[in-house]
Amino acid sequence: MYAYTYTRYGNPDVLNHVELPTPTPKANDVLIRICATTVSAGDWRARSLTMPAGLGLIGRLVFGITRPRKPILGTELSGVIQEVGANVTMFHRGDAVIGFPGARFGAHAEYIVMPETGKIVHKPDALRFEDAAAIPFGATTAYDFLVNKGKLSAGERVLINGASGSVGSACVQMAKHFGADVTGVCSTTNIDLVRALGADRVIDYTTTDFTTQGPQYDMVVDTVGSAPWVRTQQALVPQGRMLLIAGSTSDMILGALRARLKGKRLIGGVASESVEVLRKVVQMTADGHFHPIIDRCFDFSQMIAAHAHVDTGHKKGNVVVTLGSPNNTGKDLHSAALTHL
């Protein structure tokens, strides 16, 4: 099989297109032929070793001290079961599936082996493989923080900082689905996109600082790390809570205590990558309550270009990479995705 590997940290040029043996599934495993994958923020962070200030050493402990521990990136995928192990009962050869290797990576390849009890679910027939691959990372993070960690309630006023990214666009849609009054924060060029996602109002961060407008929100979700607690606390009502999906080392370590002293809450941590959450967000997609936004779709041969696009920091939603003969190579797809909203 062909895959993209890397042996050192750096820009997209550290990726190498190589041929490797196709993995063989063990008794409880399935072999998936990958049809689509994505380049996520997790891939960017692992490849470049870009970490919040103060977490560089922790980043190396996680991803590899002197060289990458996981040579094949890729946190999410859609594909077709090619082979099943002798003890597998949940899946069959030919099943279309969505997989979420997450921190285990491995999806930037033609094939991947995953345990049948892992984060794999059947792909709804109506979903394109490109859309299916764009569900796991953003949607599970949004659901876990909003619902499981943040305990979002209908009628609450929620602000999403970074509302046009993979996680942010999922947060806007899910918060709205669960009955919140949603404000999205994004750049000028993404205002129409965020409004189309369902946001009740949109703030252009290039002209307006939401933290200077007084306490208005029951919940503020920072998906990009540009709204530190020292500023965000001013926007929260008493007992309000901040969901820290991305942020500074100081806020990750001391934020909860600082918030408690102010009569508010800061909730951080790592998003759950459980198969139960994956099932819920895939079902939400099948039911029409969530639509993954695709910025651009690249062919597998353009993997380095896909990484370079993510490195710009200006992607909208998800960057998808298709294997085989995609119909949408290199095209901007987010407008088409919005027609379904």
Q: pLDDT tens digits for 244-264?
A: 998 887 888 888 999 999 999
**Would you say residue 323 lies in a domain?**
yes
What pLDDT sits at residue 104? Answer: 93
**Would you say residue 48 lies in a domain?**
yes
> In this structure, are 7 and 118 located in the same domain?
yes
Q: 57, 166, 44, 171: which is closest to 105 by C-alpha?
A: 44
> In this structure, are 97 and 201 located in the same domain?
no
> In this structure, are 117 and 165 located in the same domain?
no
What pLDDT sits at residue 56? Answer: 62
Average pLDDT value for residue range 154-183: 97
Q: Burial, 86: exposed, middle or buried (Cβ in 10 Å; 0-12, 13-18, 19+)?
A: exposed
What would the pLDDT profile of 66-124 be if each residue is shown by its tens digit?
889 999 999 999 999 999 999 999 999 999 999 999 989 999 999 999 999 999 999 99
What would the pLDDT profile of 112-147 be if each residue is shown by its tens digit?
999 999 999 999 999 999 999 999 999 999 999 999
- In 3-state terms, what secondary structure has residue 10? coil
**pLDDT of 334 above 70:** no
> In this structure, are 309 and 297 located in the same domain?
yes
> In this structure, are 124 and 177 located in the same domain?
no
- What's the domain count of the chain? 2
What pLDDT sits at residue 326? Answer: 42
> In this structure, are 14 and 109 located in the same domain?
yes
332 pLDDT tier (thresholds 50, 70, 90): very low
> In this structure, are 107 and 167 located in the same domain?
no
Q: Which pairs from 246-250 meet CB under 8 Å and 24+ separation?
A: 246/52, 246/162, 246/222, 247/52, 247/222, 248/52, 248/53, 248/54, 249/52, 249/53, 249/54, 249/55, 250/54
What pLDDT sits at residue 304? Answer: 98
> In this structure, are 125 and 141 located in the same domain?
no
How does the average pLDDT of the chain come out, rounded? 91
> In this structure, are 128 and 17 located in the same domain?
yes
This prediction's pTM: 0.90
**Would you say residue 302 lies in a domain?**
yes
> In this structure, are 121 and 61 located in the same domain?
yes
What pLDDT sits at residue 57? Answer: 63
> In this structure, are 79 and 16 located in the same domain?
yes
Residue 152, domain CATH: 3.40.50.720
Residue-number span of the structural domain to which 209 is assigned: 137-267
Interatomic CA distance for residues 234 and 239, integer angstroms: 12
What pLDDT sits at residue 313? Answer: 85
Residue 300, domain CATH: 3.90.180.10
